[in-house]
Each structure stands twice: as structure tokens, then as C-alpha cells.
Amino acid sequence: MSKSVTSVTEESAYGYGIPLFDTRVNLYQGGVLAVLLVSLVTVPVWAPPWAYLFALANIWAIFAASWDIISGHTNYISFGHSFISGAAAYTTALLTFNVNPDMAIYITFPLSVIVAVVAALVFALPSLRLSGPYFSLLTFVSVLVATKAVFIFSTYTNGEMGISTVSVLTFDTTMLFYYTLVPAVIITGALLYISRSNVGKVLKAIGQNEAAVEAAGLDTTRFKLWGFVYSAIPMGIGGALLAHFYGNVEPIAFLIVDRSIEIIAIAAVGGMGTILGPAGAAYLFLFLRDEVFKAFLGPNARWVAIWSVVLVLLVLSPQGVLKRLWTFLGNLGGDSS
């Protein structure tokens, strides 16, 4: 048993000697964060043609940070997060398609988030008692089942054609950008707070040595379940946002496991367990995929290029490119942690 991990777990759970929220950021780290945040907020000013792309990236930042709070912290790698966001999106779509096409967003949105949380708990409750490949396989199966269900119940879901009765947030790309940016910033900030709180420290300790955490007297299943709830709520928000972003909900864009793999890749490139790393990597991933590679290579070859870049980055920097940059900036400021 690792004494250090046990000690960290006990302190993390009960607050002995560890601040609730670690805000230590040196001048270099703070400066880079400030520049990036200002640049992001002013995208419609200095790059109006990219406003739509970055609006979409805002939603993917929510997805990546949401996945990271559970899988990036506990090392329980989930392939089922597209199922959670897809459940929210399809709830919105099904309500407008089968019940009332004019149903107000203030009704569909919270209902969609609730369904996403319930859907997450349905597969979290049995799967969190598993570990390693068994957990990942079960989450993977949840996506397959949900995708097949869309085709089986095509009378209600419109099958592979999808549902186009969802209202679009706005056709003004500047407003669309800010409609997605605000929840992205709030959610990322909230998840960062959780990550650096005592609960977040326990989740990370579970990822390091779950047996030691249990030996410290903590119920790891309960903490993992709370982690899933913290992950499912923003995933539901992101899924509902994405439905209103496109105005069309179809399995290839929302449900298939490819979407989960993209989220995992983004989180890994950014730096798992950091929240800010995965969120930041979402902008890099989508900019390369939908702007750079699509312009030079076309809509199909861009996928070869983006996955090649991901592969190279993971080989060169397994801990995550943005996490490595953050550590470098910390060392410049004399922070050896």
C-alpha cells in the first residue's frame, strides 16, 4: 500500500492541510491565460469568418472538460460520453418532432439535461463497479445500443436522416459565438473548481491508487458516481446546445462512438486531469480539422491528417501538449510542482 497516496486521499477527503481551491498561478501562467481568454472573447472582432467555427469549438470544449472530470481524473476511460450528450440532443429533437415543434427552449433544455443525467446514471451504476477494459467496454456498448435504437425506432427518430425540427439558436454568427462561449466559460470554471477541490483530489487519488483510497475508509464508488453526475450535467448542456447549434439531430453527428473517441483524443492532447488542457485542446483540434486541413486537403483527407497529428503529439508528449506547456511556464516562474 502506498502511504503517500493514502495520506493524500485522507487529506483530500477531510480537508486537513489542503486548501479547498488551489489558485496558485505564477506571472507567466496568468499572463498566457489572460491573453488566450481575451483573444477568445474577441474572436468575432479580429476574425469574424472564424466566429462560427469557434462557436462550435466552445461546445466541444464543454464536452472535453466534462469527460475529463471523470475519466481524466479517475482513469476510468469512458467511450460512452457521446451517448450522454446524444441523449440530451435527441430529447430536444424528439420533443419538437413528436410532441410540439414550437415547444419553447426553456422547456426542452432542462428536460434534455435531466434525461442526459438519468441516462448517464443508468450505465454508471453498474459499470462503476467494474474497472479497466470491462468498464470501457460497457460504456462502448452503451453507444452501440443507443445508435441501434435510433434506427429501430425510426418512426420517432427519423432514423439516419435525423430530426430537423429543432430551432437554431441564431443565424447571427457573432451572437451564436457568445451564446456558446458563456456556458463554456462557466462550465469550465465550475469543473476546474471541482477538480481542485477536495472531491477532485479524491477522484485523482482514485486514478492513482484506488485500493489505497478504499483503505483510507472512503467509498470510491460514491465518489465516482458523483464524478459521473458532475460530468453528465455539462455533457447534457453541451448536447442540447449542439442540437440548437445545428438545428438537426442525427446519429452520425451526435451518437456514434467516433464522437466519443474525438473527445478522448482532445482530452489526451490537452492533458488529462487538468480541465483547462482538454478545454483548450478543443479549439486547437477543431481549428486544425475544420479550417486548416479541410481547406488544404478536403473534407475526407482532413481526417487522416488530424489523426496523424494526434498520434504524433501523443507519442512526443504523452502527458498532453498543453499540460506540458503549463508545466514549462510554471518552471519559468520557479514553481517546481
Please tell me the predicted confidence (pLDDT) of residue 335.
60
Convert the pLDDT of each residue in 260-274 to its tens digit.
999 999 999 999 999
User: Shortest CA distance to 179 belongs to which of 132, 113, 135, 245?
Assistant: 245
Convert the pLDDT of each residue in 34-68 to its tens digit.
999 999 999 999 999 999 999 999 999 999 999 99
Please tell me the predicted confidence (pLDDT) of residue 8.
42
Between 125 and 16, the higher pLDDT residue = 125
Convert the pLDDT of each residue in 222-253 to its tens digit.
999 999 999 999 999 999 999 999 999 999 88
Please tell me the predicted confidence (pLDDT) of residue 164.
93
Q: Domains in the chain, please, with CATH?
A: 3-258 (1.10.3470)
Residue 10 has pLDDT above 60, yes or no: no
Please tell me the predicted confidence (pLDDT) of residue 153.
95
Convert the pLDDT of each residue in 99-125 to its tens digit.
999 999 999 999 999 999 999 998 888
Please tell me the predicted confidence (pLDDT) of residue 334.
67
Instruction: Please write down the HEC assignment for all residues of the chain.
Output: CCHHHHHHHHHHHHCCCCCCCCCCCCHHHHHHHHHHHHHHHCHHHHCHHHHHHHHHHHHHHHHHHHHHHHHHHHCCCCCCHHHHHHHHHHHHHHHHHHHCCCCCHHHHHHHHHHHHHHHHHHHHHHHCCCCHHHHHHHHHHHHHHHHHHHHHCHHHHCHHHCECCCCCCCCCHHHHHHHHHHHHHHHHHHHHHHHHCHHHHHHHHHHHHHHHHHHCCCCHHHHHHHHHHHHHHHHHHHHHHHHHHHCCECHHHHCCHHHHHHHHHHHHHHCCCCCHHHHHHHHHHHHHHHHHHHHHHHHHHHHHHHHHHHHHHHHHCCCCHHHHHHHHHHHHCCCCC
Convert the pLDDT of each residue in 164-188 to its tens digit.
999 999 999 999 999 999 999 999 9
Mean pLDDT of the chain: 90
Give mean pLDDT, residues 74-84: 94
Report for 61-70, 123-132, 318-327: range of highest mean pLDDT: 61-70
Angstrom distance (rounded) from CA 24 to CA 26: 7
Please tell me the predicted confidence (pLDDT) of residue 268.
96
- Tell me the percentage of the chain whose pLDDT exceeds 90: 80
